[in-house]
Amino acid sequence: MESIIDLTDVHKSFVKGSEVVEVLKGIDLAIGKGEFVALMGPSGSGKTTLLNLVGGIDRATAGDVVVAGEDIGGLSSGDLAKWRAANIGFVFQFYNLLPVLNAERNVELPLLLTKLSAKERRRNAATALQVVGLADRARHKPGELSGGQQQRVAIARAIVADAPILVCDEPTGDLDRETADEILDLLDILSRDHGKTIVMVTHDPKAASHAKRVARLDKGRLTQEAA
Amino acid sequence: MSPVGFVWANLHRRPVRTYLTLCSVLIAFSLFVLLRTLAVVFVGGNDLASGSRLVVSGKYSIIDSLPISQQRAIAQVDGVDAVTHQTWFGGNYQDPRNFFPKYPVEPRAHFDMYPESVIAPEVLEAFARTRTGAVAPAELAAKFGWEAGDKIPIEADIWPMRDGNRRWEFDLVGTYTFKDEDGAQPVFLFNHDYFAEATGIRGIVGWYMVRIAEPQRAGEIAKAIDALFEHSMNPTKTATEDEYSRAFAQQVGDLGLMANSILSAVFFTILLLTAVVMHRAFRERVPELAVLKTLGFSDGRVALLVLGESLLLCLFGGLLGICSAFVLTPVVALFLEFLRLDFELHWPTVGSGLGIALALGLVVGVPPAVAARRLTIAEALRRN
């Protein structure tokens, strides 16, 4: 399978006071186009840090991070932002919707960076909301939506610009079981029917079971990969 | 949704806070435009005349009347060439907006005192002979469509007639002009004898105008005049018209200083207030700004969005303030009528108001914008 994410000997360390903390210690990971991969591991194992590197919101201390054909370690801050807009959709545990905007406008946000007209932006946002089953909640603000609905809006925002990769950080961590299953089913559909590559950090084995592959991290090292 | 719409929506995150800040900015800019206009109007209105005339008024206040008996004493002071008197009449013609000064005067002595005022001899003669006669500057007569022979009704506010009637009627006998319109005082003049007779208040005048033959002796003569009445019931304060002008200019300077001091205090307060509001708004939204960056908004674009909020707030507030100043101008103009000031907004003042609004927006917006630009996504998301 052609890989869309290639991490080679990736290291990441942080400086805390006078101490250097190495969070990732030589990660090698390849993820194929359209794959649904779960990253699991105990707290502090480096899952979110690895996800941030894949999503281009942090930089590796050493090693190569090649995502969607681009060695993103060499991109300037501005180019990295453009690259994220084109290639990555983010889904967070706490949804991170903007409370002052209604669902449609939250979804429309990434399209402000494109050359689409206002009419086209609205149409695309409406389509994305339809895909996640929330067309009838377009005018509702996040505060007027349930947790599951907010996460659906966040997913709609992640796919509206047709990014090939979805980076999900504990997307069901704040949801009850039933709602979590609905969200995971939605991610399944996006992977299976829309060809999205999904990298999902989770603590939940049930959530991880939706992935085609599970990568386990412990103390900054990839310890095990399971199909 | 446009980027401006997005900025506008962000300002509504805490509507009460935003609208209170907006009100503060509005009031500050309304004050700015009105006070600056006032200063400009005062500066523009102090171009008075010569050094060969002295003004003798009450020592403690120009509204204190003086006894007419002082006229003869002043005339006898060495160096005094001529003396006449004037009195502030006030009153309204048809509508308070139709303001123009009106003085009861001694007709012949008045025009002798003001050679720059040009009046036809037959008109002056008619003015002096007609008990209820009046003359008006030609420009004023043209403005109201008056012609010689017209009756000019004036509703008195300070000086009712002795029977209590406040409606005075004057017979316009003609008009007068000025050799040089610059610095000319367009005053509606009527006969002081009629004023004294109709009010029943005889022997009282507002102030004296004194012509001196040698302007270089003005200080000495002024002292001599004031010395005459120093221990009387009506002490005087004498100054040349030039000194009067300088004193007035000094007052204008003080007014400008006062206006600037008030505005500085107001703007400093607004600056602090708005800066605190914008800083709080920024701190509350650090994770959201990080989310925008994850979506692909560049550092610069996020900084512009943050800066845009303060610019929009200050410019919108400033614009509303300037508009409210336009609305308030006629009201302020009414209050200033008695000062004979033409209170109108000046476009340069409006322009500088907008400039200051822009500068205010930049000053309060740049620090959070810079902080937003420097924000690292991973760090900011960890704060969530």
Token pair 């917006």 is found at B365
What average pLDDT does the segment A39-44 reach? Answer: 89
What average pLDDT does the segment B169-174 reach? Answer: 95
The partner residue sitting opposite A109, judged by closest CB among B295, B300, B381, is B295
Interface of A with B in 137-176 (CB under 8 A): 157, 161
> Domain A34-47+76-226 belongs to what topology?
Rossmann fold (3.40.50)
Between A179 and B382, name the one with better pLDDT. A179
In tens, the pLDDT along B286-297 reads 888 888 999 989
pLDDT band at B320 (very low <50, low <70, confident <90, very high): very high
pLDDT band at B10 (very low <50, low <70, confident <90, very high): confident
Spell out which residues of chain A touch residue B384, defining contact as CB-CB under 8 Å.
Answer: 92, 94, 96
Spell out which residues of chain A touch residue B301, defining contact as CB-CB under 8 Å.
Answer: 81, 113
Contact across the interface for A52 and B377, Cβ inside 8 Å: yes
Between B383 and B268, name the one with better pLDDT. B268
In this prediction, residue B243 carries a pLDDT of: 67
Q: Which of B70-84, B219-233, B262-276 has the lowest mean pLDDT?
A: B262-276
Token pair 């003042």 is found at B349
In three state form, how does the secondary structure of B167-225 look?
EEEEEEEEEEEECCCCCCCCCEEEEHHHHHHHHCCCCEECEEEEEECCHHHHHHHHHHH
Tokens representing B145 are 């469509």
In this prediction, residue A225 carries a pLDDT of: 65
In this prediction, residue B46 carries a pLDDT of: 39
**Tally of residues, chain B:** 384
Using an 8 Å Cβ cutoff, are B322 and B30 in contact? yes
Nearest chain A Cα to B10, which residue? Answer: A100
ipTM of the complex: 0.88
Q: Is the pLDDT of residue B183 over 60?
A: no
pLDDT band at B171 (very low <50, low <70, confident <90, very high): very high
In tens, the pLDDT along B63-101 reads 788 999 999 999 999 999 999 999 989 889 988 878 888
The partner residue sitting opposite A100, judged by closest CB among B13, B294, B377, is B13
Q: Which residues of B touch A (CB under 8 A)?
A: 1-3, 6, 9-10, 12-13, 287-288, 291-301, 376-378, 381, 384
pLDDT band at B45 (very low <50, low <70, confident <90, very high): very low
In this prediction, residue B333 carries a pLDDT of: 75
In this prediction, residue B157 carries a pLDDT of: 86
Using an 8 Å Cβ cutoff, are B192 and B84 in contact? no
Q: Is the pLDDT of residue B128 over 60?
A: yes
Per-residue b/e over A149-177, b at no fewer than 16 CB within 10 Å? bbbbbbbbbbbbbebbbbbbbbbbbbbee
What's the pTM value of the predicted model, to 2 decimals? 0.65
Using an 8 Å Cβ cutoff, are B78 and B221 in contact? yes
Contact across the interface for A105 and B381, Cβ inside 8 Å: no
Q: Which of A201-210, B29-38, B339-348 has the lowest mean pLDDT?
A: B339-348
The partner residue sitting opposite B294, judged by closest CB among A90, A100, A118, is A90
Write phi, then psi, for A194 (nearest 5 degrees): -110, 0
Distance from CA of A78 to the nearest CA of B (A): 6
The pLDDT mean for chain A works out to 89
State whether residue A84 sits within 8 Å of chain B by CB.
yes
Q: Is the pLDDT of residue B230 over 50?
A: yes
pLDDT band at A63 (very low <50, low <70, confident <90, very high): very high
Q: Where are the beta strands (DSSP E) in A48-109?
A: 62-67, 70-71, 88-91
What average pLDDT does the segment A68-87 reach? Answer: 90
Q: Spell out the domain ranges in chain A.
A: 34-47+76-226
The partner residue sitting opposite B296, judged by closest CB among A58, A81, A98, is A81
pLDDT band at A96 (very low <50, low <70, confident <90, very high): confident
Q: Is the pLDDT of residue B258 over 90?
A: no
How far apart (Å, rounded) are the C-alpha atoms in residues B308 and B6? Answer: 10
* Range with top average pLDDT, A165-179, B232-246, B312-326: B312-326
Q: Is the pLDDT of residue B382 over 80?
A: no
CB atoms within 10 A of CB B20: 13
Burial of B84 (0-12, 13-18, 19+ CB in 10 A): buried
Q: Is the pLDDT of residue B154 over 50?
A: yes
Summarize chain A as % helix, strand, coil (round to 5). 40, 30, 30
Tokens representing A157 are 């925002």
Between B43 and B241, name the one with better pLDDT. B241
State whether residue A62 sits within 8 Å of chain B by CB.
no
Q: How far apart are the first and last CA of chain A?
A: 14
In this prediction, residue A1 carries a pLDDT of: 67
pLDDT band at B48 (very low <50, low <70, confident <90, very high): very low
From residue B236, give the alpha-carbon distance in Å to each of A6, B231, B240: 98, 10, 13
Which residues partner with B207 through β-bridges?
B86
Contact across the interface for A57 and B378, Cβ inside 8 Å: yes
